[in-house]
Structure 1
Amino acid sequence: MVRALVSRWQPLRSLGRLRATLLYGAILLAVTSALVALGPQAQARAVERASTNLHNLGHGHVGTLLGSAFVVDAGPVALWLPGLLCLLGLAESIWGSRHLIYAFVTGHVGATLLVAIGLTVGVESGWTPAEITRATDVGTSYGATAVLGALAVAVPRRWRPAVIGAWLGVGVAAVAVGRDFTDVGHGVALLLGMAVATRFGAPGAWTGWRFALLGVASWFGFLMLAGTVEAMAPAAACGAVGAVVAGALTAARRAHLGATHDRCGTTPPV
């Protein structure tokens, strides 16, 4: 009975192929649960040692570039892990484990290093207080944001410009309202994810359950980018504006190409 149900229901059939997502989720759950059991002091020490701040990187602790992705200080695990698993699982179901890992690591490490370079310049130039060199910076958000950006490139073609424009608008609003280096890191990771996804090839077919996962992943991504309640309204407004502008520009471009092909006596591409 169970085997027949698994063979007939697409989400259950696909679950066995989400090895990277399930493994990463299990590690996050185990690490987070262990830190909670050890108490606040142990959590604080783990976050301090795993942070990819300028102090740790400047002292040669390059292992934090990967280790920081396994230490999360974003509150109770039940609030963020389901959304993260939907986001990563959707990407893995579309492109496979290798491309998921590539997008996640590119966003996590790439955004961390680029933000670190910017903070170094800011501190040495006196634009940023020196205390920021010891700021805590751990978690999955850079990598997850890169995967979110990659998914924006994977949606059906007719919606793609509006979706990309919407996420760019949300990212810009988050940086403008938050004005924190992590918000900048999220924006950088979003762009990195969009860039690497252009090399992944055509995604698989969009089924009903994939659209359902996309809805959960998008809500999780919005909360991750907006960051605070105060930023949600501006982020939603900028996202809507970005979607409309991107859609209008795409429509204008298609109309221009159509007129050009008509003058040349050829059929415009679909």
Structure 2
Amino acid sequence: MRIVRGPRAAWAYVLGAPGTYVWLGILLVTTVALHLMPAEFEEHFLRHRSTNIHELSRSPVRVLVTSAMWIESGHWLPYAFLYTVFHASAERWLGTARWLAVCATAHVLASLISESMLLAAIRKGVAPAAAVDTLDIGVSYALAGVIAVLGYRIAVPWRFGYVSVVLVVFALPLAAGPTFTDVGHFVAVLLGLACYPLVRGRGKAWNPKETLAALRG
């Protein structure tokens, strides 16, 4: 019975987060396609789907959507783990619509804010003009926003420790020669924290102390 219960529990977990696993399935398909693509064509292909300044000025809606369907690194398994831990947890807690709202807010606004900052740097001569075509593709902004919003799933005072760790992890790159993507990740975290109105009324926060007590009892 225990052997059967494991797969059933796993399947129930997947069914409780349909958006997460549909997205993960799309990423699997696009990652395989990327590996099958000729190396000399790959960069041009991804750049056309990137949220860089050039593509945003031409077709903002298209690239904001397509950029979230590819993984630049080509490594799918780490994202399968991260999606299961963070995205699936958030979707099961918030519901698909609210989870998707957090993802969209973090991905879209962090992309636009970071690229606007890059454009300002180009105009000031701090960044080269060629930076308008800088490759900026992937799912990390949405992931950063969801990681942050999950802080509200944890009861006080444990919440403060979790949020502090998240802020430090994403702030550290800003202290050592930050790139526009580093800025985008930190902005996405702040946007995730700003999504508090979406989490109100979503049930009792998880208290690690109660879980430990239950395990000991």
The residue number in structure 2 matching 1:169 is 168
CA deviations 1:126-169 (Å, max 9, x no partner) are: 22221211110000000110101111222122211222222222
The one-letter code sitting in structure 2 at the alignment partner of 1:49 is: H
CA, structure 1 residues 162+198, in 2 after alignment: closer, same or farther (shift >3 Å)?
Answer: farther
Task: Write out aligned runs for 1:114-193 (5 A).
Answer: 114-193=113-192
Q: Quick check: 1:103–1:197 contact (8 Å CA) kept in 2? A: no
Measure the CA separation in 1 of the matches of 2:203 and 2:38. 44
1:13 is displaced (CA, Å) by 2.9
Once residues 207 and 42 of structure 2 are traced to their aligned partners in structure 1, the CA distance between those partners, rounded to angstroms, is 41
Contact 2:90 2:99 in 1 (8 A): yes
Equivalent residue, structure 2, for 1:104:
103
Give me the whole-angstrom Cα distance separating, in 2, the residues matched to 1:60 and 1:99: 26
Is 1:18 paired with 2:17?
yes
Q: Per-residue deviation at 1:78?
A: 2.1
The aligned counterpart of 1:92 is 91
Q: Are 2:98 and 2:198, in contact at CA under 8 Å, matched by a contact in 1?
A: no
1:79 aligned residue: 78
User: Within the alignment, does 1:51 sit opposite 2:50 as a pair?
Assistant: yes
Secondary structure of 2:195 counterpart:
helix
Contact kept in structure 2, 1:103 and 1:147, CA below 8 Å = yes
The answer on whether the counterparts of 2:34 and 2:74 sit within 8 Å (CA) in structure 1 is no
Give me the whole-angstrom Cα distance separating, in 2, the residues matched to 1:40 and 1:174. Answer: 29
Unaligned runs of 5+ residues in structure 1 are 212-270
**Distance change in 2, residues 1:109/1:193 (3 Å):** same
| Cα distance between partner residues in 2 of 1:81 and 1:17 | 16
Classify the secondary structure of the residue corresponding to 2:198: coil
User: Does the 8 Å CA contact 2:155/2:207 hold for their aligned counterparts?
Assistant: no
1:167 aligned partner, one-letter code: V
Residues 86 and 147 of structure 2 are in contact (CA less than 8 Å); yes or no, is this contact kept in structure 1?
yes
The offset of 1:81, in angstroms, is: 2.6
Q: Following TM superposition, by how much is the alpha carbon of 1:45 offset from its aligned partner in structure 2, in angstroms?
A: 2.6
Secondary structure at the counterpart of residue 157 of structure 1: coil
Q: How many residues get paired?
A: 208
What do the CA deviations read for 1:195-251 (whole angstroms, capped 9, x no partner)?
A: 11343214445499xx9xxxxxxxxxxxxxxxxxxxxxxxxxxxxxxxxxxxxxxxx
The unaligned stretches of length 5 or more in structure 2 are: 212-217
Q: Indicate the RMSD between aligned Cα atoms, in angstroms.
A: 2.5
Larger radius of gyration: 1
Please tell me the residue identity of whatever aligns with 2:25.
Answer: A
Q: Counterpart of 2:214?
A: none
User: TM-score under structure 1 normalisation?
Assistant: 0.70
Match of 2:5? 5
CA distance in 2, matches of 1:16, 1:89: 10
Residues 157/198 of structure 1: CA separation in 2 closer, same or farther (3 Å cut): farther
Distance 1:76 1:171, change over 3 A: closer
Tell whether the 8 Å contact from 2:154 to 2:207 is kept in structure 1 after alignment: no
| 2:189 paired with 1:199 | no
TM-score under structure 2 length normalisation: 0.85
| Partner residue in 2 for 1:33 | 32
Alpha-carbon shift at residue 21 of structure 1 (Å): 0.7
2: CA distance, partners of 1:12 / 1:56: 39
